[in-house]
A and B are shown apart, each in its own frame.
Chain A
Amino acid sequence: MKRIYLILFVLFLSLGTLFAQSPGNRTAETVIADVLAQIPAQDKEQYVQQQKDLLSTGESGILQLAKMLNTSPESAVKAQYALNGLTTYTTEIRQEDARLIVVNAYLKALDELSDADSKAFIIRLLRMIAKDEAVSKLTSLLNDKDLRSPAEEALASIKGTVSQDAPEPLNDPDLQSLFSALKKAKPKKKVEILNKITFLFDNPANRNLADASCTATVAGLSASDNRELKTAAATVLMQLGGTESIAALAKLLNSKDEQDIQLGKTLLLSTKGDIASCIVPYMQSATDKGKIAILQLLSARKSDTQNKVVFEQLNSASPEVKAAAYDILKDVVTVKDLPVLYRLLENNTPALPVQQAIIAALKPLPKEERFETISTQINRTDKRKQSLYYSVLAASDNINALNYIVEKFDTGTGKDKDAAFQALLEWKGLESADRLSAIGKKGDAQYSEKALSRYIQLVSSPSLKGENRRLFLTNALEIAETDAQKKEILKQLGRTGSYLGLLSAGNYLDVPAVRQEAAGAVMDIALNNKAFTGKTVKTLLEKTAKVLDNPDAGYQREAIRKHLDEMPDEEGFVSIFNGKDLTGWKGLVENPVKRSKMKPADLAKAQIKADEQMRKDWKVENGLLVFDGAGYDNICSEKLYGDFEMYVDWRLEPSPDADAGIYLRGTPQVQIWNTARTNVGAQVGSGGLYNNQSNPSNPLKVADNKLGEWNTFYIKMVGDRVTVIFNGELVVDNVILENYWDRSQPVFPVEQIELQAHGSKVYYKNIYMKELKRTRPFELSAQEKKEGYKILFDGTNMHEWTGNLVDYQLEDGCISVHPTSSFGGNLYTKKEYDNFAFRFEFQLTPSANNGVGIRAPMEGDNAYNAMEIQILDCEHPVYKDIAPYQHHGSVYGVIAAEHGAMKPVGEWNEEEIYANGDNIRVTLNGKVILEGNIREAAKNGTVDHQEHPGLFNKSGHIGFLGHGNELKFRNIRVKELK
């Protein structure tokens, strides 16, 4: 990591004349180049630092920067950022001498720049920052036809004459005078004034200006026979609110005129204050329309203290009023009204509104109390009428109520059973799902179809993740009997985006009655997920294209054809469990470390014994792979896997100790357990890399389904990194899986998949593997082997490294730097080295900057507290003015490296850093670009005139020193010199 710019730099603005020579004796060129390489600043801190640095280069530096405006587009854009940042920053700090330096530089730039666009750019900067000092220069430019306009604009800003012809703002009329005018005005004028008041009152602050006499005046007008006047006055009353206004508006409800009632109702809804006590007195005298309006207003305000009148209207002679009263009952009842409501319910009144009212009255109670209240009432009730309460139970949202309903369904008969079933259907949460699926499965035609329909509805909720919906929907698909339900399920499956959902739907392409829906699902899932490749997908899509039969089929076939043409030719996911027998699976012998040390004959013998044991405990039942034993004999894939993606569905048989797991490459494990086992920490959920010690071991969230339900994992493993998506939730995000069997080693590059046996019953299905193209691990040449080189990075794991393992990612066999902060953090060897030859390859992106720290501590700025061998795309134009000791390969700030050996950006470079005592040698692509003695070089102070206290460190880590840029490393090895 080169540090061209200063870390600590105090800007002494009063010493403006010194700015020509930037601090630390660095040249303006250096400072500018470094800022440009970092531009645009990603946050304010970096921005401020850059602007301070730019300011420090003084007038000549800024002028130099301005002249970059008419160079290559790339440099010009960077200069635009820099100059604009400098301008805005200077207007922020408000220091006059700094401002003058910038303005003077810009004025000079106007003389020295040749093209009009660059000049116009500078003039627009001057518009933001310049004062009188720029006026004469800008005025002189008014004769230049290209610059006239920007110069005029800048002058307008400087003189503050931009909005010269803005009129005097209008003043609103005085409210008090409007009110007094109101009294004398003729009706037509009154309307006008009232509307004006409404407009002013739209700003609530103005309403305080009205007093009681105003309200009285307007209230009087609201009784006018003139409709316009009445409307305008009533609107003002609504805005004023308060008892007097409400009383006047309430009178409108007592009118015979429907328009009045409508006006009163609409405005009272928006009026502040207690309206119930003002409107209830009109309940007797009002027309039916008026009564209904009053009921609706009581409903809107949920006026439970005034509900006596509502109960009275339940007996109204008018059917409309009566219906309205029942309709709003639910909004005005409290727990105290329950006895009356019970009586109503049991006395042949319309059941639904009364049930809704009871549900509303119960709502303030805690869930358990709701259940107890209703179950007590049920016990007091005549048996024949008990079922009226089941719907109320279902709404109580208490699990005891669900159990009660289920029991009534199981044991009841006739009307009672039907009512319990109806209540079960009304239950809102997913808790009823297993019960509904059981009823659906039983095949009692009266109930099963409805139960399953409700189940499908519940599990299709978008609040569940697609992969989780797929689990439930495929369960429903197995049960469903009617074509209508199968069609609905297939339609919903198409929305899951799930690979396994695609396969399930694919099974129905041959079923004529539902094949259109199956085809739709296959098409929707496959076409929206380019990652779903392979023979199976291809076959299903081709079949789909054949069966599609709808008005758009032509277009759909074309889309499928295009998708297939673009699909890469690869194997894709392959099932490794056939659902019939244990083909492809074997027993577990020891662990991978021990197995590798066994003689083949001994291993074969042990394998036979292990297979025998495995067959005792692992069975295939109903297409499921089942472990039902007491031991710890994992079942293992016969095939070995390197990098892969995997799907597996699993289900724990409910038991307190339920536990299982998936071993990846013979290594424990992606955890599966009963989350109720808090004594062992299972509340964190399944899916974590349980055996990790230095890397995260807990899942990111709990995503387990109810114990006894199916769950599903998607697991991706590349190199030593693992990602787990569990029931659709990301729970492990590209985390290193540690080698449990030998923690000094990275996880095995290739090994078997194991399903863990942990003494409790567990079911598996849908086990699919997709092998990913593996990076061939880098190997030492015979020569390097002989010389004693050791590999630090072979493309498959980062076991030898520590530090920032998040920005430095394992990608396509490289260490790829994806900085998340402005300085990408550092990556270090775990081990320390003193004298060595360090070989590696690197690939740059344009203007990239990094460095190799040697003999470095894992902290501080290694360019000074150790030694940094620069890595830099120094051919990039932004670096054209940097000092020789900053070039690629230099011992940063101490010894300059030679030019000309770097390959073009984007190609791989091969480098060796040879460090033997004070002698350093750097070889790039076979050419020695630096060879020198650091003690010699620093004898009279280093060339950069900086302190390098760590230059003569005896030993330390080797590190990559991030500087906020993307680049890649690979094939890293080291030889320690004896």
Chain B
Amino acid sequence: MQRREFLKTAGSIAAFAIIPRHVLGRGFIAPSDQLTKGIIGTGGMGRGHVNYGGTRLVAVCDVDKNHLELGKQLVTGKIAAYHDFRELIADKNVDIVHIATPPHWHGIMSVEAAKAGKDIWCEKPMTRTIGEGKRVMEAVRQYGRMYRLNTWFRFTDNFYGLGTLVKPLKKLVQSGLLGWPLTVTISRHTGFDWKFYWVGKEYLEPQAIPAELDYNFWLGPAPYKPYNAHRVHQTFRGYWDYDGGGLGDMGQHYIDPVQYILGKDYTSPVKVEVNAPQQHPDAIGTWHSITYTYDDGCRIVLWGGDYGNPDTPYIAGPKGNVYKNFVCDIPDWEKKLADYPEPEPQVTDFIESVKTRKPFALDEQKGFRSATIVNMGVAALQLNRTLHFDPVKLEFTGDEAANRLLNQPMREPWTI
């Protein structure tokens, strides 16, 4: 049996079989003891993420010839270069498909990769709508794939203004010492920046499409709008058709760990409220606050710019608060906390995940749930109103327009 076929069957038939790499025996993992990957989207993001350990880059894809050229230079030696991502996904030499395109492509590409039996590494935000996220989750599970959404604060790195790993925060919250329900505030005051420079321009003069760019393919499922350089590449985050501004860019980084800390990985908030200036239908603007409420009364509050109270805690509970830099106001909390268990270990190496078929710490299920929070906010901003959400049916309650944003149609020939 060839190595790649082995990995595929291991994945598709017995999704949760544990095959540690040493039992594979000699001859299976060759020639480089590495899995292979292909990157779709070799703009700044894709090129920046080449060197994750344990994989060897064998294919790149981009609809911009210049980017593709830069992508080919990422390795010395042979590399397959594609214009059409479907060819990269079909490439038998590729084990892992790494999706580093703008978010309006993430859903389609993830589903196609899953169908083709590839494991998937996808940049955040997971998808640009809740409907596409749900579809990705279903496809990944249906085809027994391993999926990693690429943000990492739930298991490593100092978590922005908290100046600590998320683990001790999780331990403190799950101990119940702070009481329940909790309110988590993500704002400049608690050490987070919503990057309001990702705003679009309301008027874009049509420009000539540069020769190197296949603009129609770049747009793909997004509505056709005349080309202007500001829509693509470095500045696409400012337009609803492709992303969600600062909320889209940073939302999963900031909110995914909160889902984990609050133990909400298997549900979603039931309400989202916005306080924001009216939004333009194409160009994303700024906002003052976005507030999410779960059915048990826990809340996540986002404050944009300098909005809100500078003295607010990061986590506020009826029995105690946690402030920026992990300052807790419960007397002797460290001692009290010792009676409680550490957060459970997670699979934090995607290569291990791929080889053992144990789901990654931030898999399609958890990624979908945190992306859903971002996309609930995006919908509420676009509609400028409070929305109610059903975390089981995964749709908005009693709001048809909101549900039309939930499942955005795609431009032909694209479907998901």
Residues of A within 8 A of B (CB): 39-44, 47, 73-74, 76-77, 80-81, 83-85, 88-89, 91-92, 117, 120-121, 124-125, 127-129, 149-150, 152-154, 156-157, 162-167, 169-170, 191-192, 195-196, 198-199, 202-205, 228, 232, 238-239, 241, 266-267, 269-273, 300-303, 331, 363-364
Contact = CB atoms under 8 A, between A and B. Distances in A.
Interface residues of B, number: 59
B265 interface: yes
A76 B282 CA distance: 13
Interface stretch (B48-56, B72-80, B335-343): B335-343
A163 B131 contact: yes
Contacts of B400: 91
Given A40-B280, A40-B285, A166-B135, A153 B407 contact: no
B223 A84 contact: no
Contacts of B411: 149, 152-153
A209 to B, nearest CB: 14
A279 to B, nearest CB: 14
A211 to B, nearest CB: 21
A130 to B, nearest CB: 10
A199 B416 contact: no
Contact of A195 (B16, B384, B410): B16
A239 B345 CA distance: 10
B280 A166 contact: no
Contact of B223 (A120, A195, A363): A120
A40 B285 CA distance: 10
A41 B277 contact: yes
A166 B344 contact: no
Contacts of A152: 409, 411-412
B202 interface: yes
Interface in B287-336: 332, 335
Contact of A271 (B341, B358, B401, B409): B341
Across the A-B interface, give the 4 residue pairs with the lowest CB-CB distance, nearest first: A302-B338, A91-B401, A153-B409, A162-B407
Contacts of A88: 382-385, 401
5 contacts: A84-B280, A84-B281, A91-B400, A127-B404, A153-B408
B275 A241 contact: no
Given A120-B224, A127-B404, A163-B416, 11 more contacts: A47-B384, A77-B202, A80-B280, A80-B282, A88-B383, A150-B223, A162-B407, A166-B135, A205-B266, A270-B344, A301-B339
Given A170-B142, A270-B342, A302-B335, A81 B410 contact: no
Interface of B: 14, 16-18, 20, 131, 134-135, 138-139, 141-142, 202-203, 205, 223-226, 263, 265-266, 275, 277-282, 285, 332, 335, 338-345, 358-359, 382-385, 399-401, 404-405, 407-412, 415-416
A238 B343 CA distance: 11
A270 B345 contact: yes
Contacts of B20: 228
A81 B135 CA distance: 32
A270 B16 CA distance: 22
Contacts of A364: 332, 335
B409 A157 contact: yes
Nearest to A272: B341
Contacts of A169: 138
A820 B341 CA distance: 50
A926 B408 CA distance: 59
Given A124-B223, A157-B404, A167 B138 contact: yes
Contacts of A47: 278, 384
B203 A232 contact: no
A239 B339 contact: no
A163 B136 CA distance: 12
A166 B138 contact: yes
Contacts of B343: 270
Contacts of B405: 128
Nearest to B204: A73
Contacts, number: 159
Contacts of A163: 131, 135, 407, 416
B285 A128 contact: no
A120 to B, nearest CB: 7
B78 to A, nearest CB: 37
Contact of B383 (A91, A117, A170, A203): A91
A923 B410 CA distance: 59
A172 B138 CA distance: 12
A41 B345 contact: no
Contacts of A153: 223, 408-411
Of A80, A120, A303, the most chain B CB neighbours within 10 A belong to: A80
B138 A192 contact: no
B359 to A, nearest CB: 6
Nearest to A201: B344
Contacts of A232: 18
A17 to B, nearest CB: 25
B338 A270 contact: no
Contacts of B265: 202-203
B171 to A, nearest CB: 9
A272 B139 CA distance: 35
A969 B202 CA distance: 31
Contacts of A74: 203
Nearest to A235: B345
Contact of B141 (A83, A170, A273): A170
A910 B344 CA distance: 74
B324 to A, nearest CB: 12
Contact of A149 (B17, B340, B412): B412
Given A156-B409, A269-B341, A300-B338, A196 B280 contact: no
Contact of A241 (B341, B382, B416): B341
Given A92-B383, A192-B18, A195-B16, A41 B278 contact: yes
A250 to B, nearest CB: 14
A578 to B, nearest CB: 42
A169 B275 CA distance: 35
B414 to A, nearest CB: 11
B409 A162 contact: yes
A199 B359 contact: yes
Contacts of A202: 265, 359
A162 B412 contact: no
Of B16, B205, B408, the most chain A CB neighbours within 10 A belong to: B16
Contact of B339 (A83, A84, A205, A302): A302
Contacts of A124: 223, 281
Given A88-B401, A163-B407, A199-B16, A266 B138 contact: no
Contacts of B278: 39-42, 47, 81, 85
Nearest to A127: B404
A814 B365 CA distance: 59
Given A43-B277, A150-B223, A203 B266 contact: yes
A150 B408 CA distance: 12
A73 B18 contact: no
A267 B342 CA distance: 9
Of B263, B401, B408, the most chain A CB neighbours within 10 A belong to: B401
Nearest to B131: A163
A92 B282 contact: no
Nearest to A172: B141
A77 B281 CA distance: 10
Contacts of A303: 338
A134 to B, nearest CB: 13
Nearest to A360: B335
A876 to B, nearest CB: 16
A204 B263 contact: yes
Of A44, A77, A266, A271, the most chain B CB neighbours within 10 A belong to: A44
Given A44-B275, A127-B409, A363-B332, A73 B138 contact: no
